[in-house]
């Protein structure tokens, strides 16, 4: 007999892992099956040999060293308190879908905050007026005027304090920056608004600012101390700075 | 499932290193002996056992209670030992190719005495050891693991199946083949 479909029961029978019912059935089978008897004998022989076989014991010093090394190995692992581990588990290791969504939303909010405060704002300042003209309607008109006056005042103050001989670099930078041009565009835009509102005082002020700004723009290619002096004198005569200051403190 | 280590495992999963230390203490010798039975010397067995506990420590948060901790740690150790044997065999084959050394002269338990072992001068036992080591050489890694777990570590067929990740029928087959081979060897000795 070369094969028996019950031969695998021999192992369970020998190691007493069969139920009583299975055991009884197998014992009946065993009486008739030569192959299973051979397998059972082989198992008995192996078990006897293994019983006699003694595993070589490790040296005591070796065993002590092994235990010490295990202890050292695990004490070198980073210790974590259960609370920290729980937090890491919840948020990093195994976050639920809700936590993942919340993390994504939080990340988005942080991104928008950073963007609005550090990227979009500066981009807004650098964008020529013609590009954000379409958004003009949504801006608060008063706020636009206030900002405009603040910017104009700053530029005019810079100009009035310039030393034509010593501040050549600053003059060059001022002219290089196209801020004057934006101010010029903003002036034109506000003038249109002022015409619509029929605000004569504002129209007159904007006209005078426009004149000074035009002079500044013309300086782009010819920066001479005399030219700067002339603009400074013009600015002084116009009392623009004083007027802007007083308007800023009034209700517009 | 009634796992005696459940409480310690639960604590260890929450990051309690002291609890994991207790589990290590409980299993350190069992795993060392299992590794020795599979790799054949205590120096390598120590490496296998240390890797086993390190792996268990890192992965205990992912341990699911589908099996007992004992089965899980035995599975890690068995896999580590099998991997170690495979890499050792590869290294040895490279060496053999270089030195034209006959692989058949290299028994499972090397002839060179393991310095970590206190020698028991028992001739009968050494004969038996030789026989078993020869048998081990002829078995596949899975057969060897099944044989060791059954005869040296008293694991049930179901447990062995879980440890070596195969069908219980396959485990019974491995055990039968291994015992028949040993029986034949014993007969030849006589």
Which of B78, B103, B119 is the last residue in one of the domains? Answer: B119
User: Which residues lie below 8 Å from residue B63, measured CB to CB, with a gap of 6+?
Assistant: B9, B13, B69, B72
Same domain for A180 and A232, yes or no, is: yes
Domain that holds residue B157: 120-190
Q: Say whether A42 and B176 touch across the interface (CB within 8 A).
A: yes
Consecutive H or E run containing A85: helix A82-88
Percent of chain A surpassing pLDDT 70: 76
Least confident of A12-26, A42-56, A178-192, B142-156: A178-192
A77 touches chain B (CB under 8 A): yes
A121 has pLDDT over 90: no
End-to-end distance of chain A based on CA atoms, in angstroms?
A: 112
Residue A212 resides in a domain: yes
Q: In which band, very low, low, confident or very high, does the pLDDT at B31 lie, cut at 50, 70 and 90?
A: very high
Separation in Å, CA B85 to CA A46, A70, B110? 24, 22, 13
Distance from CA of B153 to the nearest CA of A (A): 11
Same domain for B179 and B92, yes or no, is: no
Q: In which band, very low, low, confident or very high, does the pLDDT at A122 lie, cut at 50, 70 and 90?
A: very low
Q: Say whether A49 and B117 touch across the interface (CB within 8 A).
A: no
Count of domains for chain B: 2
A110 has pLDDT over 90: yes
Separation in Å, CA B129 to CA B50, B74, B125, B141? 25, 23, 6, 18
A196 touches chain B (CB under 8 A): no
Same domain for B129 and B113, yes or no, is: no
Q: How far apart are CA B37 and CA B46, in angstroms?
A: 12
Same domain for A225 and A146, yes or no, is: yes
Distance from CA of A57 to the nearest CA of B (A): 6
Same domain for B32 and B99, yes or no, is: yes
Same domain for A191 and A170, yes or no, is: yes
Which of B66, B88, B119 is the last residue in one of the domains? Answer: B119
A58 touches chain B (CB under 8 A): yes
Residue A223 resides in a domain: yes
> When comparing pLDDT for A157 and B88, which is higher?
A157
A186 has pLDDT over 60: yes
Determine how many CB atoms are found less than 10 A away from the CB of residue B133: 14
Q: Closest Cα partner for A33 from A62, A57, A3?
A: A3
Which of A18, A35, A52 is the last residue in one of the domains? Answer: A52
Same domain for B91 and B185, yes or no, is: no
> Could you tell me the CATH number of the domain that includes residue B131?
1.10.10.10
CB environment A184-218: b (16+ within 10 A), e (fewer):
bbbbebbbebbeeeebeebeebbebbbbbbebbee
Same domain for B74 and B140, yes or no, is: no
Domain that holds residue A186: 138-248
Same domain for A158 and A231, yes or no, is: yes
Chain B residues with beta carbon closer than 8 angstroms to that of A5: none
Q: In which band, very low, low, confident or very high, does the pLDDT at B112 lie, cut at 50, 70 and 90?
A: very low
Which of B101, B119, B137 is the last residue in one of the domains? Answer: B119
Q: Say whether A57 and B151 touch across the interface (CB within 8 A).
A: no
Residue A121 resides in a domain: yes
Count of domains for chain A: 3
Same domain for B83 and B35, yes or no, is: yes
Nearest to B116 among A45, A59, A93 (CB): A59
A78 touches chain B (CB under 8 A): no
Interface test with B, best of A10, A42, A63 (most B CBs within 10 A): A42
Answer for the pair B116, B42: CB distance below 8 angstroms, yes or no.
yes
Determine how many CB atoms are found less than 10 A away from the CB of residue A25: 14
Q: In which band, very low, low, confident or very high, does the pLDDT at B99 lie, cut at 50, 70 and 90?
A: very low
Separation in Å, CA B30 to CA B36, B141, B154, B162? 10, 19, 12, 17
B120 has pLDDT over 90: no
Residue A78 resides in a domain: no
Least confident of A199-213, B29-43, B72-86: A199-213
Same domain for B42 and B127, yes or no, is: no
- HSE on the CB side for B26, CA within 13 Å? 14
Chain B residues with beta carbon closer than 8 angstroms to that of A12: 157, 172
Same domain for B105 and B136, yes or no, is: no
Residue A208 resides in a domain: yes
- HSE on the CB side for B122, CA within 13 Å? 12
Same domain for B56 and B113, yes or no, is: yes
Same domain for B114 and B127, yes or no, is: no
Least confident of A195-199, B92-96, B98-102, B155-159: B98-102
pLDDT for the residue B48: 92
DSSP A202-230: HHHHHHHHHHHHHHHHHGGG---HHHHHH
Same domain for B48 and B11, yes or no, is: yes
A46 touches chain B (CB under 8 A): yes
> Could you tell me the CATH number of the domain that includes residue B97?
1.10.1740.10
Residue A41 resides in a domain: yes
Same domain for A148 and A240, yes or no, is: yes
Residue A239 resides in a domain: yes
Same domain for B96 and B164, yes or no, is: no
């Amino acid at each position: 007999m070369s094969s028996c479909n019950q031969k695998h029961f021999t192992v369970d029978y020998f190691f007493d892992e069969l139920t009583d019912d299975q055991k009884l059935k197998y014992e009946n089978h065993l009486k008739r099956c030569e192959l299973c008897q051979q397998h059972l004998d082989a198992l008995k022989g192996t078990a006897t040999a293994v019983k006699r076989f003694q595993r070589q014991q490790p040296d005591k010093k070796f065993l002590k060293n092994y235990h010490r090394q295990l202890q050292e190995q695990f004490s070198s692992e980073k210790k974590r308190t259960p609370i920290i581990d729980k937090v890491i588990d919840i948020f990093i290791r195994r976050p639920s879908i809700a936590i993942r969504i919340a993390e994504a939303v939080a990340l988005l909010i942080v991104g928008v905050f950073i963007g609005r405060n550090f990227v979009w704002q500066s981009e807004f300042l650098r964008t020529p007026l013609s590009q954000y003209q379409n958004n003009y309607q949504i801006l608060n008109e008063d706020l636009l005027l206030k900002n405009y006056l603040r910017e104009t005042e700053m530029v005019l103050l810079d100009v009035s304090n310039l030393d034509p001989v010593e501040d050549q670099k600053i003059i060059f930078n001022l002219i290089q920056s196209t801020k004057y041009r934006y101010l010029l565009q903003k002036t034109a835009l506000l003038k249109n608004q002022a015409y619509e509102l029929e605000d004569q005082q504002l129209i007159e002020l904007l006209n005078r600012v426009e004149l000074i700004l035009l002079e500044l723009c013309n300086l782009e290619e010819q920066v001479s101390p005399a030219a700067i002096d002339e603009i400074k004198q013009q600015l002084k005569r116009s009392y623009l700075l004083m007027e802007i200051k007083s308007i800023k403190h009034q209700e517009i | 499932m009634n796992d005696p280590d459940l409480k310690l495992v639960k604590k260890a999963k929450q990051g309690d290193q002291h609890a994991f230390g207790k589990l290590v203490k409980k299993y350190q010798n069992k795993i060392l002996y299992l590794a020795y039975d599979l790799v054949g010397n205590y120096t390598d067995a120590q490496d296998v056992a240390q890797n086993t506990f390190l792996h268990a420590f890192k992965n205990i948060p992912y341990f699911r209670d589908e099996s007992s901790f004992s089965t899980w740690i035995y599975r890690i150790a068995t896999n580590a030992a099998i991997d170690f044997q495979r890499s050792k065999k590869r290294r040895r084959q490279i060496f053999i190719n270089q030195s034209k050394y006959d692989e058949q002269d290299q028994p499972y338990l090397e002839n060179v005495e393991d310095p970590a072992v206190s020698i028991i001068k028992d001739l009968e036992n050494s004969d038996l050891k030789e026989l078993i080591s020869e048998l081990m050489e002829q078995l596949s890694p899975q057969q060897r693991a099944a044989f060791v777990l059954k005869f040296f570590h008293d694991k049930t067929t179901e447990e062995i199946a879980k440890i070596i990740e195969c069908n219980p029928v396959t485990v019974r087959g491995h055990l039968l083949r291994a015992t028949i081979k040993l029986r034949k060897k014993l007969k030849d000795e006589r």
